[in-house]
Amino acid sequence: MARSDNFAIEKGKAEKGINWMNTYAATRNKKFNAKLSGYTLSTVNFGNFEVISWEGEWSAARQIIVKASSKLNMKIVEAGYHSKSNILESFLGLGKEYAKVYSGGVLTGNVVLGIKGGKIIADSEKLV
């Protein structure tokens, strides 16, 4: 099973989002469980997000977090994308990670993420 802390939910709505996602996954027998990581991701264009850690299957995680954005009308960051040319750098922690930002289930932008002090930070942002 995969485990990561590269998803985030709009600040102030994370608890509600996590409860909904965990309940949704359990009722549909999907391998997914999320909890708060305890720090925030700040962006200029999209606002502040509470980072969540999760474990389960990647495909289920991506589907569930985007569905939560739509059902609960909140912004989410769905990360975990890497450029194909830099896979080795990504595994070594040297490459950049890309994220999609959804609002109400609709793609609104992209963020390039970096790591500083073991926490993800926004390096650059682009509205779609």
DSSP state letters, 62-81: HHHHHHHHHHHT-EEEEEEE
Residue 97 contacts residue 79 (beta carbons within 8 Å) = yes
What pLDDT does residue 90 have?
Answer: 53
Ranges in the chain, pLDDT < 50? 1
CA distance 108 to 37: 24
Single pTM value for the model: 0.87
What pLDDT does residue 69 have?
Answer: 97
What pLDDT does residue 118 have?
Answer: 80
Residue 66 contacts residue 102 (beta carbons within 8 Å) = yes
Domain regions of the chain by residue span: 2-127
